Amino acid sequence: MRLPLPHTGEKLYMSRIAQAFQNGKTFIGFLTGGDPSMAKSKDFVQAMIKGGAGLIEIGIPFSDPIAEGPVIQEANIRALRGGATRSGATLEKCFTLVEDLRKETEVPLVFLTYFNPVFRYGCEAFFERAARSGLDGVIIPDLPFEEQGEIRETTRSFGIDLITLIAPTSETRIKEIAAAASGFIYVVSSMGVTGTRADITTDLVSIVTSIREVTNVPVAIGFGIHTQDQAAKMAHIADGVIVGSAIVNIIAEHGEAASTYIYEYVKGMKDAMISAALS
């Protein structure tokens, strides 16, 4: 979705994602859609936004989320089963969640999904529906960069950013991947699956430096970040910080009562990022 550029009479447009990164360091929060229910997912997204999140990732529940660690795997299972109501999450319910949120906020919303749900829905139909719902971007962890060309034109035609992932193993391909990026670039901080980590030892400065040589697309770092100190450190390196497992852990612990805890957690992380940017 493209929005008019502020304070200009030109017929140019800036995406919601681009606008989010115009406002300083961006905190990006993740949750699994439908965990523990779609209604509560909406509340939790609003709590993140209130706490300072500038962009939200919504995970589409999937039975075989190969990039996810135990915390998010279990969230997928909870969402698909539907808790006590047994009214499990579906792709269409995730689209409706985006529609409901879009009525109340202009904060960019991004799906994290595996390719199978997109393929089964039909690629063109999926992105047409995504555009109608008000979605801004999509992350597909199991779609290799070399295979993205098959859908990139479709995503562009519907104004949806296909978010690129760059991992520590990307090495000589970093600049090639970055040059084709749109929306923002998701830098994977550590090898392995998602989950909180005590230490992040990857040379992220070198990765981000290589990216900056070929593109001005914003860079956000995720995988393993969960403390305020880590968020502050990453804010010095990149434009945004992505947190998933720590938020999903809060939901697992507090269930339907998680909103206040999510707000407090996100606010603390965002405040740490602001302090880091000013230091």
Sequence-separated (6 or more) residues with CB below 8 Å from residue 160:
127, 130, 131, 135, 136, 137, 138
Residue 9 is predicted with a pLDDT of 43
Count Cα atoms within 13 angstroms, Cβ side, for 272: 20
Q: What is the pLDDT along the chain (279 residues), one digit of tens a residue?
A: 454 444 444 445 689 999 999 988 999 999 999 999 999 999 999 999 999 999 999 999 988 777 777 899 999 999 999 855 557 899 999 999 999 999 999 999 999 999 999 999 999 999 999 999 999 999 999 999 999 988 999 999 999 999 999 988 877 899 999 999 999 999 998 654 444 444 555 789 999 999 999 999 999 999 889 999 999 999 999 999 999 999 999 999 999 999 999 999 999 999 999 998 887
**Dist CA 44 CA 65 (whole Å):** 22
Question: pLDDT digit string (tens) for 15-60?
Answer: 999 999 998 899 999 999 999 999 999 999 999 999 999 999 999 9
Predicted TM-score (pTM) of this structure: 0.90
Domains of the chain: 2-8+29-278 (3.20.20.70)
User: Whole-angstrom Cα distance, residue 98 to residue 102?
Assistant: 6
